[in-house]
């Protein structure tokens, strides 16, 4: 079975990219799949979510990988040196840190845009890879889109997010046409959904009327998500019976069915 590689992409911050990546990856690992999270965001939220206090010691990670490809260090003999175990069985991470921001201009000018794709192809014993991206269309985002098979777009039920969807979908089409013919839109993940509010329902209905690939279930807003960030435990481990934890499980199953 080939490795499934999904990127979560939106150039707007605060839409839940890291939360979606880490919780879907945690569900995947809990199902017995050897799963990898790749953190390409200099803010390193996914790294912190999964590793907590151990994040600062998790080196080398993504920055080290790119530094080697810039020739700053000798290339490692093993692709495994970039991958670190998390406290959760079958769940691994390629961690990020703020040095990614400093590397960006060097990587862009040297056109290392395909290096991540090549690395993930070598890491072929993973069943699933989830890639977190920064809130921008930049070198790291493009590297992720080139490396992935499927793109998930978080939508936080905001009018600005709805307008931005067209540009995001256009970016995915451009990457597919120019770099990665296998890239597909896996769907729009409705996040921080408020069931009793009229505007979120109206915006989602508009997306459906435009035949946008809106996924179900929607992820509802909950303080439990913030608690899981604080405790560095994805919801399936922190509170498996909680409503949002069940929604992540259902969303994972929806994506699995679509990919069969």
Would you kindly state where each structural domain of the chain is located, as residue ranges?
4-259
Q: Are strands 84-85 and 91-94 parallel, antiparallel or unpaired?
A: antiparallel
The span from the CA of 62 to the CA of 147, in Å, is 14
- Nearest 5°: CA angle at 123, between 100 and 131? 45
User: Please, what sign has the CA dihedral across residues 63, 227, 6, 133?
Assistant: negative
Q: Is the pLDDT confidence value at 66 over 50?
A: yes
Q: What's the order of all strands across the beta sheet hosting 4-8?
A: 84-85, 91-94, 35-39, 128-132, 4-8, 150-155, 184-190
Q: Are strands 184-190 and 150-155 parallel, antiparallel or unpaired?
A: parallel
Q: Is the pLDDT confidence value at 77 over 50?
A: no
The span from the CA of 223 to the CA of 121, in Å, is 37
Mean pLDDT (the chain) is 92
Does an H or E element contain 153, and which?
strand 150-155
User: Which of 133, 127, 126, 95 is CA-nearest to residue 8?
Assistant: 133
Question: Tens digit of pLDDT for each residue in 21-40?
Answer: 999 999 999 999 999 999 99
The span from the CA of 63 to the CA of 231, in Å, is 25
Confidence class for position 211, pLDDT limits 50, 70, 90: very high
Largest separation between any pair of C-alpha atoms in the chain: 57
State the pLDDT at residue 56.
78
**What homologous superfamily does CATH list for 4-259?**
P-loop containing nucleotide triphosphate hydrolases (3.40.50.300)
State the pLDDT at residue 73.
54
The span from the CA of 249 to the CA of 30, in Å, is 10
Q: Highest mean pLDDT range out of 54-58, 93-97, 254-258?
A: 93-97
Question: Tens digit of pLDDT for each residue in 112-147?
Answer: 899 999 999 999 899 999 999 999 999 999 999 999
Question: Tens digit of pLDDT for each residue in 41-61?
Answer: 999 999 999 999 888 787 889
């Amino acid at each position: 079975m080939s490795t499934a590689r999904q990127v979560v992409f939106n150039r707007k911050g605060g839409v839940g990219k890291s939360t979606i990546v880490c919780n879907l990856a945690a569900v995947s690992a809990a199902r017995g799949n050897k799963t990898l999270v790749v953190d390409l965001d200099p803010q390193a939220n996914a790294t912190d979510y999964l590793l907590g206090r151990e994040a600062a010691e998790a080196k080398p990670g993504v920055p080290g990988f790119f530094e080697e490809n810039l020739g700053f260090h000798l290339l490692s003999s093993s692709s495994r040196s970039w991958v670190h175990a998390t406290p959760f069985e079958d769940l691994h991470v390629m961690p990020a840190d703020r040095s990614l921001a400093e590397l960006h201009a060097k990587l862009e000018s040297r056109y290392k845009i395909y290096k991540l794709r090549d690395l993930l192809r070598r890491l072929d014993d993973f069943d699933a890879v989830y890639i977190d991206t920064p809130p921008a269309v930049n070198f790291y985002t493009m590297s992720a889109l080139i490396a992935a098979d499927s793109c998930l777009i978080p939508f936080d039920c905001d009018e600005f997010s709805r307008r931005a969807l067209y540009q995001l979908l256009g970016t995915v089409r451009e990457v597919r046409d120019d770099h990665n013919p296998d890239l597909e839109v896996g769907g729009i993940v409705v996040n921080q959904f408020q069931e009793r509010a009229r505007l979120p329902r109206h915006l989602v209905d508009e997306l459906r009327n435009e035949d946008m690939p809106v996924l179900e279930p929607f992820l509802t807003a909950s303080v439990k998500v913030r608690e899981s960030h604080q405790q560095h435990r994805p919801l399936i481990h922190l509170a498996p019976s909680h409503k949002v934890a069940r929604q992540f499980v259902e969303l994972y199953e929806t994506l699995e069915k679509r990919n069969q």
